Structure 1
Amino acid sequence: MGPSRALSPNRSWRRQGSQERNVRTLRQALHDKEAPMRVAESRLYTRAQRPNVELCCDGPQISLVNEAGEISSTMEALQEKLSEAGQSLRDLESTRMALEKDISCKMHSLMIDVQKCMSHRTRYPTVLALAGY
């Protein structure tokens, strides 16, 4: 993976923020579909409760059934996208945590190198001095 394709913590934060906005948008879209679904279901229920009308299958009935079906399939698709977005968000979170842990480990290693090892390295002669130059 090249340096331009590497995932940095800042890039991970931006992706995570974008995915959180995506999840909020999907939840709002799903919430916005609940009211039309309730309306379609209540209209179907009201039509089914009409007196002296049995097995009525006219244009409005078919239209209501189709509308309820379309809204239901849209809600299912939104729910599926929401679960995918949630999984992606969890993956981004774990990636970010791994990056932060890796950075912390490397910072600790650098601190050990600077504080503990550099004092020992200054005591030894350089490669040029060992080569006789």
Structure 2
Amino acid sequence: MAASCTGIARAAYEAALFWANTREVNDHPIGEFQGLQWMIADMATDLEAARLFGLKAATRREAGERFSLESAMAKLYASEAAGRITDKALQLHGGYGYTREMPLERYVRDVRIMRIYEGSSEVQRNIIARTVLKG
């Protein structure tokens, strides 16, 4: 699930980068505006953190180690980050992002279920809390 969320987040991020570099306002790409640059920076940071959480869980599993904590953290973080990333990408696109001609419209729809499917974010938080409280 973390990998699926990260994939959707990456697609939304790449759509936002393309839009920021090609959409112009007053003969300037919107990516030149500092506020939008900060949104892109947040998206890039969230995406990398989600990717690393997923890799850590996969590495532990591959090594035959216990990985339930890392898996819960990866799923929680990746699904929540994907929501933030698609939301920011939609904000960058404005009303165009909701049109069916834009792939972003589907990413926004698809990512919402990720916070519910295969253990909601709240369930993942319960797993994490139970595990870390036991020491």
What TM-score do the two structures reach when normalised by structure 1? Answer: 0.39
Greater gyration radius: 1
What TM-score do the two structures reach when normalised by structure 2? Answer: 0.38
